[in-house]
Amino acid sequence: MRFLHTSDWHLGRSLHRVSLLDAQAAFLDHLVETARAERVDAVLVAGDIHDRAVPPLPAVRLFDDVLHRLAGHGIRAVLISGNHDSPARLGVGAGLIGRAGIHLRTDPAACATPVLLTDRHGEVAVYGLPYLEPSLTRGEFGAPETSHAAVLGAAAEGVRADLATRPPGTRSLVLAHAFVTGGQGSDSERDITVGGSAAVPASVFEGVDYAALGHLHGCQTLTDRLRYSGSPLAYSFSEAGHRKTTWLVDLDARGRVAAERVDCPVPRPLARVRGTLETLLGDPALAAHENAWVEATLTDPLRPEDPMARLAARFPHLLSLVFAPDRAPDAPATYAERVAGRDDQRIAEEFVAHVRGGRAPDERERQDLRAALEAARAAEAAR
């Protein structure tokens, strides 16, 4: 049986205020076409379908459209809610939608109730474990403690108990949205430690043939049977080096897994460049990034004049500008360290020099600064 494993669509999300809605629509076109061309039996979506609990209407329309298109091609789908989704909203109409072969799993109580798919080798039980917030779902599973490992572990025990009642040789898949030990995160994932210790051991998924994971945005293989698809688009510059893909997964008659990556369309590459303003404007090696979304880190000792506009002339899709001045190894890093031992007059004079590109105040300006400081001290003393 063949599956297409994807996750973390984050419909409605932007990148530094640039809308990604068109890019998300292009990915969903690619998803439907891939599922059709590869004759997949089901699409697996491992959570974070939307970017927030109450998604904008265009994102809802995209989601509605892709479900209709999958159902129209006779392609079944199993989807779970992630930590960005609202389980209640996402699950509205799940029973009715399920009749069209689109199975939304958002209710923790249904974790051990599989979607049953059949091929010539028998049944495949697909279990959807939505994101389980420990503080809210511990009681549902009778978990021994309020942690992600305890709650997800208890849910997985329910899966194994149900699987034990199935005919011998029944193959199994689990969808889960969690941070599994060994996975590599990025800057764009929302921290889930607020609900207890975030890490979940891979052993939680023992006994199933394949675990389709969501939450981490980089495509990665923890074991042959335990994989993250990653997000289909880059949602932060920490993902600039990611290759965005889905997993095409084949499950044979004995539950053995074969998987290959299918590249997602790239709307525009991401690039991180670093150096002085002069270097970034003149280095011919950076020409390859002129059409990319760019994060530029300036290392000039003093902040240059109007750097954003000057860089945008070369990199028209510049989205982020970071200042990280190069300092000598023994140079103080904090403001408190830099001004330690200096009196108010010297601090004021050095500030003027800093904001004027290194030109120190002349004698008249020093007298004006001294007078202003004395007036401030007198005002403070008079309170």
**pLDDT at position 189:** 80
Closest among 200, 262, 236, 186 to 6, alpha carbons compared? 262
Strand boundaries in the chain, DSSP class E: 2-6, 14-15, 18-19, 42-46, 76-80, 102-105, 115-119, 122-129, 171-177, 179-180, 199-200, 210-214, 220-223, 226-228, 245-251, 257-263, 270-275, 293-298, 318-323
Cβ contact 227:260 at 8 Å? no
Q: What is the pLDDT of residue 375?
A: 87
Q: Going residue by residue through the chain (383 aa), what tens digit of pLDDT does each one get?
A: 999 999 999 999 999 999 999 999 999 999 999 999 999 999 999 999 999 999 999 999 999 999 999 999 999 999 999 999 999 999 999 999 999 999 999 999 999 999 999 999 999 999 999 999 999 999 999 999 999 999 999 999 999 999 999 999 999 999 999 999 988 888 888 776 544 458 899 999 999 999 999 999 999 999 999 999 999 999 999 999 999 999 999 999 999 999 999 999 999 999 999 999 999 999 999 999 999 999 999 999 988 999 999 999 999 999 999 999 986 555 555 666 666 767 888 888 888 887 776 678 888 998 899 899 888 887 877 76
**Which bin fits 17, alpha (ψ -120 to 50), beta or left (φ > 0)?**
left
- Global pTM value: 0.84
* CATH class for the region spanning 2-263: alpha beta
DSSP lists the bridge partners of residue 3 as: 42, 249
The helix (run of H) or strand (run of E) holding residue 282 is helix 277-282
Spatial distance between the Cα atoms of 103 and 275, rounded to a whole number of angstroms: 50
**Strand, coil or helix: what is 365?**
helix
Residues 6+ apart with CB under 8 A from 57: none
Confidence (pLDDT) at 194: 43
Kindly write down the DSSP assignment for every residue of 73-87, as one continuous string: TT-EEEEE--TTS-H
pLDDT at 350: 82
Give burial (CB, 10 Å; 0-12/13-18/19+) of 169.
Answer: exposed
